[in-house]
Structure 1
Amino acid sequence: MKTQRFQGHGLQMTADVGGDPTSPAVVLLHGGGQTRHAWGSTARALIEAGWYVISLDLRGHGDSEWDPNGDYSLDLQVADLRSVLKQLPSRPALVGASLGGLVSLLTVGETPELVASRLVLVDVTPMLDPEGEARVLGFMTAYPQGFSSVEEAADAVAAYLPHRPRPSSTTGLQRNLRLRSDGRYYWHWDPRLFDRLRASPQFQAARYEAAARNVRVPALLVRGQQSELVSPENVRHFLDLIPSARYVDVAGAGHMVAGDRNDAFSAAVLHFLKSS
């Protein structure tokens, strides 16, 4: 894959792209506090299956620009995605995890014209478990002073995700960290991100529900069977909103489905893209 810049809503967005640009496209949108590197081997699997893949850093994440005013409202994130989609030669499938899924849902459900060919939501629905959400946000904001080393960050991740085998290498984790001038490692995103999202009046289920009812493309929900955010009740609520949607439960995975069980996750997404 190669790195490419896209114009967002007033900001430059960074993505890794790969495959034949004339092939059907898939845009991968990571979760809050992650980067475009969060998908494991999913991008490679999609490329090998004949898809053109754009793995995008959301605003304030990874190598995309930070908003000078710290504005990471959902309206602006949706505007970013709409801008990127206009730069693609055809309507892509959107695969969004957590925050990236909510941005994808709003983009598809609130845009009058069809802007995507398919929609895959990864462990996110209009209703989320508040305790699980608090736990995820708590981890993401728990280290404002950063880490003294990549290994220290790896220890923090291992303690947060005890069900996931610890990788033998920290290379993947290092791509989600930024070494600053003080010699410490920080998560590769703007620390103002979650403050703005939590304060936003748009962070409400009613908006997501309305968007879901307006989804007019094939949709798939992929849930981690051990998810702390999406309960079976949340799944039933989602399927009531989009009765035509498909649903896959990934055993052995929590909220970070692609990271926990990348093989099963990639297989589920590929099956949906081929069959819908």
Structure 2
Amino acid sequence: MRVLQRPTSAGELALGVRVSGADPDRPPVLLVHGMAGDHSTWRTFAGALRRQGRAVVAVDLRGHGRSGHASTYRLDDFRDDLRFVLDDLDIAVADVVAHSLGAHAALRLAMDEPDRIRRLVLEEIPPMPRDQDDLDLNIVVAASLGERVRGLGWAVRNPLPLIRFDRRVADDVSPQFEVADPDWWAGLDAVTAHTLVISGGRQSFLPPDHLRTLSAALPDGRFTQIDTGHSVHRDRPADFGSAAGDFLSAP
């Protein structure tokens, strides 16, 4: 595990990254976990990528894993952390696979610096609400009982991500999704990456129709649904690996 030191207004922030593999002919794959996870959630998928010869960079978001706890957890902070990781590792262009909060941060980076991301896989990404109707859908509600039970089972097997997680992240992030932001939707036009949006279906607390709408709003978006809940890569690794792996392998 490598620890990068990112300068911030509050002092240096440690960002943990695991870098493995090498492929001079294709961009590295940046893996970004969701809330309360860390880089280890990608172990199965990262292994499959390395067997295909891909270079892999798995990052711990601020407040998670080996990264430091921070003074702020704005959505743009997570985006800027990803930008710093690419800059510090001298990565001009990357493919990105990201889950939930990490997917939202990755999409913000693709909107802000479209030339940095070639292919983008967004698993169970929470979109910003567009208007009052979206706010009424309440997409940031707590996960279902089934989702929490599945998460608890994984936490028992691998408790470190939850132990290291800064609980302030959830408190700071959730209110940011409770304000309509039509400008965010308008900004999707800037994304040039070929993008795959993966929904966990009706078992997830994120409405699949909302993610399908996001996919349609992207200049080059496509949509697939794997019915399992919010953590598709965790609960259906073979199906996720097939969908995401095939997408990344395309020219």
Could you tell me how far 1:131 is from its partner in structure 2?
4.5
CA contact (8 A) 2:141 2:205 kept: no
Q: What secondary structure is seen at the aligned counterpart in 1 of 2:117?
A: coil
1:159–1:93 Cα change, 3 Å: closer
Q: What secondary structure is seen at the aligned counterpart in 2 of 1:28?
A: strand
CA contact (8 A) 2:188 2:219 kept: no
Opposite residue 249 of structure 2, the aligned amino acid is: K
Could you tell me how far 1:226 is from its partner in structure 2?
3.4
> What are the superposed Cα offsets for residues 108-139 of structure 1, whole Å, 9 maximum, x if unpaired?
1123x511111110011525784452113xx8
Q: What secondary structure is seen at the aligned counterpart in 1 of 2:83?
A: helix
Opposite residue 256 of structure 1, the aligned amino acid is: S
> Which consecutive residues of structure 2, in runs of 5 or more, have no partner in the other structure?
none
In 2, Cα distance between equivalents of 1:14 and 1:203: 31
Opposite residue 25 of structure 1, the aligned amino acid is: P
Opposite residue 247 of structure 1, the aligned amino acid is: F
Normalising to structure 1: TM-score of the pair?
0.76
Equivalent residue for 2:2, pick from 1, 4, 19: 4
Could you tell me how far 1:89 is from its partner in structure 2?
3.3
Could you tell me how far 1:28 is from its partner in structure 2?
0.6
In 1, Cα distance between equivalents of 2:189 and 2:167: 33
CA RMSD of aligned residues (A): 2.8
1:9–1:208 Cα change, 3 Å: farther
> What are the superposed Cα offsets for residues 160-182 of structure 1, whole Å, 9 maximum, x if unpaired?
235x8957x944x223243xxxx
Q: Which has the larger radius of gyration?
A: 1
Aligned residue number for residue 25 of structure 1: 28
> Which consecutive residues of structure 1, in runs of 5 or more, have no partner in the other structure?
140-156, 179-187
Aligned residue number for residue 160 of structure 2: 175
> What are the superposed Cα offsets for residues 63-109 of structure 1, whole Å, 9 maximum, x if unpaired?
10111x2x011121111111111123341111111100110011111
Structure richer in helix, relative to its length: 2
Could you tell me how far 1:245 is from its partner in structure 2?
1.2
Could you tell me how far 1:200 is from its partner in structure 2?
3.6
CA contact (8 A) 1:43 1:53 kept: yes
Could you tell me how far 1:227 is from its partner in structure 2?
4.1
1:72 counterpart = 2:73: yes
Determine what percentage of the aligned residue pairs are the same residue.
26
1:231 counterpart = 2:231: no
Aligned residue number for residue 82 of structure 2: 81
Normalising to structure 2: TM-score of the pair?
0.83
